[in-house]
Chain A
Amino acid sequence: GAGVSQSPRYKVAKRGQDVALRCDPISGHVSLFWYQQALGQGPEFLTYFQNEAQLDKSGLPSDRFFAERPEGSVSTLKIQRTQQEDSAVYLCASSPWTEAYTGELFFGEGSRLTVL
């Protein structure tokens, strides 16, 4: 497709379950970002990949959160032993740029996670 694709769009998990959220960036985009957006808040940075390398994971809130991008394209954000405070929309964004950053991130529509 032409844009960033995320799946699932909606996920309901019971507390303690593991979840995996997928992001298909725009083909050829080098940079990939994950953001977490709680209700009524702005997106908060989680992690950044340049190709397959995870260059920054400073925003991951705990060791229950893990992200990978093994072939430099599709990325998966995994949350283990989900807690209610993990309920949020998880946004993926990609960019064709690395250091010469133009600012125009292309966002997916997000995966809305609800933990009961």
Chain B
Amino acid sequence: EDKVVQSPLSLVVHEGDTVTLNCSYEVTNFRSLLWYKQEKKAPTFLFMLTSSGIEKKSGRLSSILDKKELFSILNITATQTGDSAVYLCAGLSVGGATNKLIFGTGTLLAVQP
């Protein structure tokens, strides 16, 4: 059965801290690993990782995928209160006529001023 496990489930930090969010996956017909940010409404896309070992960066956020260990991390440096959200990791399964995202339960990040 497909599964995506995120840790920690929740995290409280202070502004300026650096955080690392973890995601492990077991997804059949795995194609890519995606990260989304969800702030009480629609998840918004952050990264898609398809190749191992290649870091993707966007401002203070970065992410990397390890396809051997079936693992990804999302780093946020110099956190700000606006980073407070649930961060969702999802494995993209592509097979036959379908493609779908298998989501983890998310990591709830709270950044205190």
Contact = CB atoms under 8 A, between A and B. Distances in A.
A40 B45 CA distance: 19
Interface stretch (A61-69, A78-86, A96-104): A96-104
B105 A41 contact: yes
Contacts of B98: 48, 55-56, 58
A91 B42 contact: yes
B90 to A, nearest CB: 8
A41 B108 CA distance: 11
Contacts of A72: none
B102 interface: yes
B88 interface: yes
B94 interface: yes
A102 to B, nearest CB: 7
A16 interface: no
29 contacts: A33-B101, A35-B103, A41-B105, A41-B106, A42-B4, A42-B88, A43-B43, A43-B101, A45-B101, A45-B102, A48-B98, A48-B99, A48-B100, A56-B97, A91-B43, A99-B94, A101-B31, A101-B94, A101-B99, A102-B48, A103-B32, A103-B34, A103-B48, A106-B45, A107-B42, A107-B43, A107-B44, A108-B42, A109-B42
B53 to A, nearest CB: 18
Contacts of A41: 105-106
Interface string B1-28: 0001010000000000000000000000
Interface of B: 4, 6, 31-32, 34, 41-45, 48, 88, 90, 92, 94, 97-106
Assign chain A's interface to a size class: 20 to 34
A110 interface: yes
Interface of A: 4, 31, 33, 35, 40-45, 48, 50, 55-56, 58-59, 91, 99, 101-110
Contact of A101 (B88, B90, B92, B103): B92
B105 A59 contact: no
